[in-house]
Structure 1
């Protein structure tokens, strides 16, 4: 996936505004650098003046090993998928810090376990939008778990099969545009043409990324992830 520099700048600015890491904070590098989430960890730390904490793969296995690493390495900020949050006891972890759930659907049960005692966010976004495109939070126990609103510089559209906007509460496919939108897939013109389609709501030559995800908006414009269009 070919990502523009503008997408990286938008990512760093969103991290600064919404999460606010800085000198003295310690960010866990949980994801491999082979995955887009690894780039999120990297920018969250190094573009804010925080410390990026590296470990070996075994030290971050979900469960007790991850918990011991979070406590022992004094981690203040961690980006973890729901599967890791489910398997790990939050007691004593990230006190007063930040946890961001991303990569899969975050449930109310996870929010009830992890939100108390720390700020918790729920993020959404594919590699094709420079790691992410929306964020909700801080999320709170007892409230519906949304994926929030678009980052500054990005726009999301929930459209039906005719590319018409869906009504509030109506599921539609997620189409994404903005500063983070990728240029396409390297040396794969057919796949690029399939996923980056003409934008009927933009200017001449503009495109939007067809995510394949189903979502809906509530009456206030907040976004909720529903599932995949191909399942």
Structure 2
């Protein structure tokens, strides 16, 4: 089954943030001599395991700053407008770190908003609306 098809099937049953960001195809799971999963023998996912989206450069000050923060936190080279925080390897602890870094830059931030709008463009737009309201 192609990764995108698997991902879509999972999204029908799980919230977006619970769907795995990386996928590795295995012919068989590595088992210990007693038949249990040998976790240490599982291969680490490489760059090819990530969901790849076509890159579109960030637009505007908010998107550019958020892209820089995401790249630092997620240890990726660049972040595009349609990149997804959790697909790039983000998780709840990194989301909290992101909020802290955003506040250091004087931005209003909300962790819940990142779960609702996990793409760079979506979260930047939500952040800008929050700042206008306040």
Shorter-chain-normalised TM-score: which range?
Answer: under 0.3
Query: How does the TM-score come out when normalised to structure 1?
Result: 0.19
Structure number with higher strand proportion = 1
Query: How does the TM-score come out when normalised to structure 2?
Result: 0.28
